[in-house]
Amino acid sequence: MSNELIKELCNTPGVPGCEDEISKIVIREIENSCTSYIKDSMGNLIFQVNKTIPNAPTILVDAHMDEVGFIVSHIEENGMLRVIPLGGIDPKLFYGQRLTIWGKTQIEATVAAIPPHISDKAATGATPVEDCLIDTGISAKKTRALIKIGDQVTFSTDCVIDNDRILSKSLDDRIGLYVLLETIKKINKKSLKCNLYVSASVQEEMGLRGARIINSNVNPDFSIALEGTVSNDLPGIPTHKKLAHLGNGPEIRISDKYLIADRGFNNYLQDTANKKKINFQLTAKNAGGTNATAFQVTGKGSKATVLSVPVRYLHSPSSVCLLKDVTSTIKLLTAGILNIHKFKDE
């Protein structure tokens, strides 16, 4: 486990369309463990891990590089800014937050919060993100020199890790990306009995956009989207709505709003986990969506599923997950890849 790499992945900005800095880290970490890689027209990275084995199954494992965030959409006369959200962000979580604007330099800002003494007491509900004012406290002239329309903006929370847990922004999907990188570094490519490809994809948070063009380059038989997934295991939440629990191991997804995962492939992953004595949990829900949806239905299609680290407070300035769930996700993914040639269609 490399706490420094998790911190670097979480603290590096990468809103949809701005994944360049994250992709540099991905290349640095796994280029030497792979046979070759390409960056496609959208910016997806696709790595061929081992040399092609004729007649062996092909498996694609993906994690997306982008995080939910914002871009600068307007600069007011006085130098204050407006932003638009990229990806699903609850406006209740935005008001009063600290942000980082990635202009010519890294600039800290606050979402203007009207003090209670003078705020409109009758007003209820959250102000839409695009209507909030973003204040750097910097003069209008200097602001125009440093910041331009389209600059990316992220929550400014720093990643915190100790022996047990991680608190950070962007765990969706930097924790999935970390699982991917660690697994590829750990696997000896000579021991593979399948053709292993990995993708670090772009623009997932804007509707699985990057993932839709990956199958055309890989044509996998199996695909796994690695995610940080919703955990709602809080006091007061009815048991049937808690979904994945922190500490119970990776979530193998049965369904979400846009996916019915492949039953045979999921059964194979469960059998693999049972044999290796790895904790896992099953989730069937009708909300959310991941790149597995794109991998299942584009190109020639593939047997697709989602393997996820449970994360509380997804898409917020501070999500929470446990290191032991990260470790068991890496273990299950590794065993799943190494034994995929034994998969039998039911």
Q: Which residue among 67, 204, 205, 227 is the active-site one?
A: 204
Q: Provide the minimum distance between the beta carbon of 288 and Zn ion in the complex, in angstroms, as a whole number.
A: 9
Distances from the Cα of 285 to the Cα of 131, 231, 288, 310, angstroms = 33, 12, 8, 14
Q: Provide the minimum distance between the beta carbon of 189 and Zn ion in the complex, in angstroms, as a whole number.
A: 27
Instruction: Closer to Zn ion by CB, 173 or 256: give it.
Output: 173
Q: Provide the minimum distance between the beta carbon of 188 and Zn ion in the complex, in angstroms, as a whole number.
A: 29
Q: Provide the minimum distance between the beta carbon of 256 and Zn ion in the complex, in angstroms, as a whole number.
A: 11
The span from the CA of 30 to the CA of 28, in Å, is 6
Q: Provide the minimum distance between the beta carbon of 50 and Zn ion in the complex, in angstroms, as a whole number.
A: 27
Instruction: Closer to Zn ion by CB, 188 or 286: give it.
Output: 286
Q: Which three-class secondary structure string do you get for the chain?
A: CCHHHHHHHHHCCCCCCCCHHHHHHHHHHHHHHCCEEEECCCCCEEEECCCCCCCCCEEEEEEECCCCEEEEEEECCCCCEEEEEECCCCHHHCCCCEEEEECCCEEEEEECCCCCCCCCCCCCCCCCHHHCCEECCCCHHHHHHHCCCCCEEEECCCCEECCCEEEECCHHHHHHHHHHHHHHHHCCHHHCCCEEEEEEECCHHHCCCHHHHCHHHHCCCEEEEEEEEEECCCCCCCHHHCEECCCCCCEEEEEECCEECCHHHHHHHHHHHHHHCCCCEEEECCCCCCHHHHHHHCCCCCEEEEEEEEEECCCCCCEEEEHHHHHHHHHHHHHHHHCHHHCCCC
The span from the CA of 121 to the CA of 130, in Å, is 21
Residues of this chain that bind Zn ion (CB under 5 A)? 172-173, 227
- Distance, first Cα to last Cα, the chain: 36
Instruction: Closer to Zn ion by CB, 151 or 173: give it.
Output: 173
Q: Provide the minimum distance between the beta carbon of 252 and Zn ion in the complex, in angstroms, as a whole number.
A: 16
Q: Which residue type does 320 have?
A: V
Instruction: Closer to Zn ion by CB, 169 or 221: give it.
Output: 169
Distances from the Cα of 292 to the Cα of 23, 173, 295, angstroms = 20, 14, 5
Instruction: Closer to Zn ion by CB, 16 or 249: give it.
Output: 16
Q: Provide the minimum distance between the beta carbon of 95 and Zn ion in the complex, in angstroms, as a whole number.
A: 24
Q: Are 22 and 162 in contact (CB under 8 A)?
A: no
Instruction: Closer to Zn ion by CB, 16 or 79: give it.
Output: 16
Instruction: Closer to Zn ion by CB, 33 or 312: give it.
Output: 312
Does the active-site annotation cover 182? no
Q: Looking at the annotation, which residues are catalytic?
A: 204
